[in-house]
Chains A and B, each alone.
Chain A
Amino acid sequence: EAGVAQSPRYKIIEKRQSVAFWCNPISGHATLYWYQQILGQGPKLLIQFQNNGVVDDSQLPKDRFSAERLKGVDSTLKIQPAKLEDSAVYLCASSLLTASYEQYFGPGTRLTVT
């Protein structure tokens, strides 16, 4: 079974530029999550989708971050404009259902903002 795929794996941009990350969840998984992990900290949930609807985006900085999950499969997370403090690893995860006890994580995208 293929795992959660993410691209790119690494990205370096200058502040005020924009960037987008892509995630392909495990086939058949209805729930998709985006997490931000700052160096030395645990992951923090940014947004959760159930199919193509948003379940929780309470921690998403909506003035600069946006996410979509068209057709309830792939998802993109965008930052525009980026700030230095956005430097982090962005992790995508999926689960079969919202109530599933196990989330499967992708390898993450490491973003460096200079």
Chain B
Amino acid sequence: DAKTTQPTSMDCAEGRAANLPCNHSTISGNEYVYWYRQIHSQGPQYIIHGLKNNETNEMASLIITEDRKSSTLILPHATLRDTAVYYCIVRSPPMDSSYKLIFGSGTRLLVRP
């Protein structure tokens, strides 16, 4: 079962930063935080993942708190095409037998013009 808690929905203005929170208070020391998103009528798309340190790529930044009980996905300059459902997933390490993606219900982000 999903080990994360996310707000059901959020909105932000186009061009502004979108900050999507995720609570994972029961995360284990070797579990990773993954983010995927799903644009309407498409399959999910990988965004970013991290273990302890903050991570940044061309799509987003991932900020993980020091106690690792929560994280925030940041889209620095949201566009209308970023409107999607965003899934925060806690995932076991690759060699673990339970290494799989377990999706919750996610956060529906609406980017307003």
Contact = CB atoms under 8 A, between A and B. Distances in A.
The interface residues of chain A, by DSSP majority, are classed as loop
Contacts of B46: 101-104
A56 B100 contact: yes
Contacts, number: 50
Interface string A63-107: 000000000000000000000000000010100001111111111
A32 to B, nearest CB: 13
Interface residues of A, number: 22
Contacts of B104: 42
Given A42-B104, A42-B105, A105 B45 contact: yes
A93 B94 CA distance: 17
Listed residue (B32, B34, B43, B101) with the most chain A CB atoms within 10 angstroms of its CB: B43
A59 to B, nearest CB: 10
B100 A42 contact: no
Closest 4 CB pairs of A and B: A105-B43, A42-B103, A99-B94, A102-B46
A32 B32 CA distance: 21
Nearest to A58: B100
A66 to B, nearest CB: 20
Contacts of A93: 43-44
A71 B43 CA distance: 25
B49 A99 contact: no
Given A41-B103, A91-B43, A105-B42, 9 more contacts: A40-B105, A42-B85, A43-B44, A43-B103, A98-B99, A99-B94, A99-B95, A101-B34, A103-B46
Contacts of B44: 43, 91, 93, 103, 105
B41 A103 contact: no
12 contacts: A42-B103, A42-B105, A48-B100, A91-B43, A98-B99, A99-B99, A101-B46, A101-B94, A104-B46, A107-B41, A107-B43, A108-B42
